[in-house]
């Protein structure tokens, strides 16, 4: 169930000819990002974030700190004041694996949270669902909504837009209260990477038709827009103001024959992986239901249908108790290397559980499964050195298909993890989970526990 290509003679990143260079002092984008090759004809290169917790298992305190720091920059833009400084050296050290730096960065980011002007934060699925939530937290608990690719019975779409370069392009907005999209307050759009600005502009144009406002903010970890990006002019044409904030800015240099280079590399490294069905995992795989650990009645799991100030506060108040109950129920050992694995759009709650466990002294990494197919090469300097492929397990509306988890293997022949916690919501807790993802993970972990949200 793994998708690992043999190492080519010349490193694939060099053969692609993609170059990333900083365009402003401060946070180094080459520290925050690695490079890989997509299996997607719309865009060849994949910028792999080392602070997002999507493709790279990462200290959860670093992931949340990056989102809170980005939220601080948004707060400054909303208030019309100069952008605050980011602790560059501590951030760089945390990205390079210094767990003490990650703890220090996270504690410092939490101390800088302060109430900002009223705004609505919108995160893009699937990669920025947790990042957007952290930005909303960084604004003191702003209203938050993330887009989704999963229709939900009982929730009518209040809007939608397309992400043209994505593997799965269509996004829905499913707020429990459609009025949250109206009212004219500033709208903050959050994505992990701003490459052209087209997705942000598509979203702004679609929402502006029915809910116009005067001020938009686009927030991203790394801004790599080329000169002459249509985002600024497109928002100006609506008669609105736009601010763009990022932890780092970079220029990405793409060779003119990138598509041909990528096609040749993909052909050499193998065809796109298909879904593989495995045997049912060992019945000793554990299972914990968060609803039995004191989950607040009626409390939202995430931002798919909206998440407000009281929700932020209740989550913060409940997390220590929930994480302690989870550790006891799953039999976590603080010294064990444990991976908390979110599933596609379900990233925020797994992240916060992982971060709370890390704060309590557990050796925790966090990452998530994804829809995005990419080339895996066990080569030094390449961002995706291992990967697993498994079938979708949440009966997706757009039909069955393969799903992926990257960098979960160690390549040493022995399990990388002592314990993996796979966090799913009820629609994803299916027989396909037990015949797909769980056995795909089995070679890389000594123990697995499925954690089911209410």
Domain ranges of the chain: 60-253, 286-452
Q: How confident is the model at residue 326 (pLDDT cuts 50, 70, 90)?
A: very high
Nearest partner of 166 among 187, 192, 130, judged by Cα: 192
* Token pair in block for residue 329: 């129920």
Phi, psi angles (nearest 5°) of residue 181: -85, -10
| Confidence band of 165 (pLDDT split at 50, 70, 90) | very low
The secondary element (H helix, E strand) that includes residue 222 is strand 215-223
Which overall architecture, per CATH, does domain 60-253 show?
Answer: 3-Layer(aba) Sandwich (3.40)
Residue 266: pLDDT band by 50, 70, 90 thresholds? Answer: confident
Instruction: Provide the pLDDT for residue 13.
Output: 73
Please give the residue that has the higher pLDDT: either 199 or 91.
91
pLDDT of the residue at 156 = 83
Q: Let me know if 367 is exposed, middle or buried by CB neighbors in 10 A (0-12, 13-18, 19+).
A: buried
pLDDT at site 254: 81
Q: What is the pLDDT of residue 275?
A: 38
d(CA 345, CA 367): 12
More confident position, 413 or 214: 214
CA distances from 30 to 60, 101, 263, 386 (A): 20, 19, 25, 21
Measured from the Cβ of residue 2, the count of other Cβ atoms closer than 10 Å reads 16
Ranked by mean pLDDT, the top range of 66-70, 202-206, 399-403 is 66-70
pLDDT value at residue 277 = 43
DSSP state, 77? Answer: H
Tell me: pLDDT of 1 over 90: no
Please work out, in degrees rounded to the nearest 5, the angle formed at the alpha carbon of residue 113 by the alpha carbons of 109 and 116: 140
pLDDT at 181: 94
Whether 60-253 shares its CATH topology with 286-452 is answered yes
Averaged over 154-177, what is the pLDDT? Answer: 74
Burial of 214 (0-12, 13-18, 19+ CB in 10 A): exposed
- Comparing CA positions, the residue from 345, 369, 364 lying closest to residue 437 is 369
Residue 123 pLDDT greater than 70, yes or no: yes
Cβ atoms within 10 A of the Cβ of 373, count? Answer: 20
Which has the closest alpha carbon to 99: 131, 68, 61? 61
Q: Which residues pair with 217 in a beta bridge?
A: 188, 243
Q: Are 405 and 341 in contact (CB under 8 A)?
A: yes
Q: Which residues pair with 122 in a beta bridge?
A: 145, 189
Q: Please name which of 210, 188, 200, 254 lies closest in space to residue 230, comparing C-alpha atoms.
A: 200
User: Could you give the CA distance from residue 217 to residue 233 in angstroms, rounded to a whole number?
Assistant: 14
Per-residue pLDDT at 171 exceeds 60: yes
Averaged confidence pLDDT in the chain = 90
pLDDT band at residue 162 under the 50/70/90 scheme:
low
Model pTM score: 0.93
Q: Which helix (H) or strand (E) holds 216?
A: strand 215-223
User: What's the pLDDT tens digit per position in 224-239?
Assistant: 998 888 999 999 999 9
Half-sphere exposure of 391 (CA within 13 A, CB side): 17
Least confident of 15-19, 72-76, 369-373: 15-19
Average pLDDT on 406-414 reads 78
Distance in Å from the first CA to the final CA of the chain: 29
Return the pLDDT at 413.
Answer: 61
Give, in words, the CATH class of 286-452: alpha beta
Residues above pLDDT 70, as percent of the chain: 91
pLDDT of residue 37: 85
- Whole-angstrom Cα distance, residue 140 to residue 155? 27
Q: Which residues contact 453 (CB under 8 A, 6 or more apart)?
A: 290, 291, 301, 346, 349, 423, 424, 425, 426
CA distances from 272 to 41, 56, 163, 165, 389 (A): 12, 20, 21, 17, 10
- Give me the residue label for tokens 């009626």: 298
2 pLDDT exceeds 70? no
Beta-strand runs (E) in 124-164: 143-146, 159-162
């Amino acid at each position: 169930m793994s998708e690992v290509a043999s190492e080519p003679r010349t490193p694939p990143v060099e053969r692609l000819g993609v170059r990333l260079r900083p365009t402003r002092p401060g946070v180094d984008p080459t520290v925050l990002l690695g490079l890989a090759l997509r299996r997607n004809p719309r865009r060849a290169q994949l910028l792999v974030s080392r602070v997002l917790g999507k493709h790279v298992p990462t200290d959860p305190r670093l992931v949340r700190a990056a989102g809170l720091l980005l939220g601080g920059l948004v707060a400054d833009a909303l208030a019309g004041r100069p952008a605050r400084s980011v602790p560059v050296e501590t951030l760089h050290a945390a990205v390079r694996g210094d767990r003490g730096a990650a703890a220090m960065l996270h504690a410092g980011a939490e101390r800088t949270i302060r109430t900002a002007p009223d705004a609505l934060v919108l995160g893009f699925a699937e990669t920025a669902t947790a990042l957007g939530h952290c930005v909303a937290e960084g604004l003191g608990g702003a209203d938050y909504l993330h887009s989704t690719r999963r229709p939900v019975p009982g929730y009518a779409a209040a809007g939608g837009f397309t992400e043209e370069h994505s593997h799965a392009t269509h996004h829905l907005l499913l707020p429990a209260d459609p009025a949250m999209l109206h009212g004219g307050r500033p709208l903050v759009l959050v994505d992990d990477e701003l490459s052209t600005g087209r997705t942000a502009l598509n979203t702004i144009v679609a929402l502006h038709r029915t809910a116009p406002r005067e001020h938009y903010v686009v927030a991203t970890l790394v801004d790599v827009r080329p000169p002459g990006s249509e985002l600024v002019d497109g928002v100006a044409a609506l008669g609105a103001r736009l601010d763009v904030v990022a932890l780092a800015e970079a220029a990405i240099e793409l060779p003119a024959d990138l598509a041909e280079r990528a096609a040749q590399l993909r052909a050499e490294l193998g065809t796109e992986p298909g879904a593989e069905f495995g045997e049912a995992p060992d019945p000793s795989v554990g299972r914990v239901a968060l609803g039995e650990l004191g989950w607040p009645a009626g409390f939202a799991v995430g931002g798919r249908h909206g998440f407000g100030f009281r929700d932020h506060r209740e989550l913060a108040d409940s997390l220590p108790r929930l994480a302690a109950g989870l550790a006891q129920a799953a039999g976590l050992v603080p010294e064990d290397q444990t991976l908390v694995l979110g599933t596609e759009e379900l990233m925020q709650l797994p992240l916060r559980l992982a971060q709370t466990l890390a704060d309590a002294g557990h050796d925790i990494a966090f990452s998530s499964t994804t829809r995005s197919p990419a080339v895996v090469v066990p080569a030094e300097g390449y961002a995706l050195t291992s990967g697993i492929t498994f079938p979708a397990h949440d009966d997706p509306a757009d039909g069955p298909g393969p799903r992926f988890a990257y960098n979960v293997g160690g390549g040493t022949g022995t399990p990388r993890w002592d314990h993996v916690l796979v966090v799913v919501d009820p629609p994803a807790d299916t027989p396909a989970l037990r015949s797909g993802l769980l056995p795909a993970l089995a070679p890389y972990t000594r123990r697995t526990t499925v954690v089911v949200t209410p």
